[in-house]
Amino acid sequence: MIGCILIANWIIGIILIELALKKHKSLINVDESRDSKYSSFRRTDVHLWSRPRLYIGSFFVIPKLTFIVSSALIYGLYAKIVLFFNSDEQPKSKLQRFLLQYVHRLLVRIWLLLCSNIYWISVSKPKVDYTKYLGPGWKPTYTNPNTIVSNH
């Protein structure tokens, strides 16, 4: 019985992959005249979209969707519990903010890692000297980047 469910899960995942590939056919088919005209928008990862590779990963489509929806519902319930005694006019206490932010950041990191297949996050700090504009006493004080740039 469990084997049938797993096979059905895989078949549904393959069908979803095929529907997505059909919808994005214009991206998969490389058009050299278009891509040479708009070279900054050229997809360089089309060769990675091979069907066998996608079919192997399609086994996890439904578990990923189930995880995303269930964890979002659980987080919504958690936020309601944390904010239960708080009215809309009251600001959140430091403890409430900490509890919401900590769990939210943890959940988003899990979603990015498990559900979006983000493998690498690089942080780069600019090496720009703003003393010309901000005065000779200016020193960089940032510890984390203020902008996150993605490939999408």
What are the tens digits of pLDDT across the range 60-115? 777 878 888 898 899 989 888 888 877 777 788 888 888 888 888 888 878 877 76
Quick check: 129 pLDDT over 60? yes
Whether the model clears a pTM of 0.75, i.e. scores above it, the answer is no
Q: What's the CA gap between 123 and 145, in Å, rounded?
A: 7
- Show me where the domains of the chain are located: 2-30+37-119
**pLDDT over 70, % of the chain:** 83
- Would you tell me how many other CB atoms lie within 10 Å of the CB of residue 46? 13
Q: What does the pLDDT read at residue 145?
A: 58
CA distances to 71, 92, 107, 112 from 49, in Å: 29, 46, 28, 20
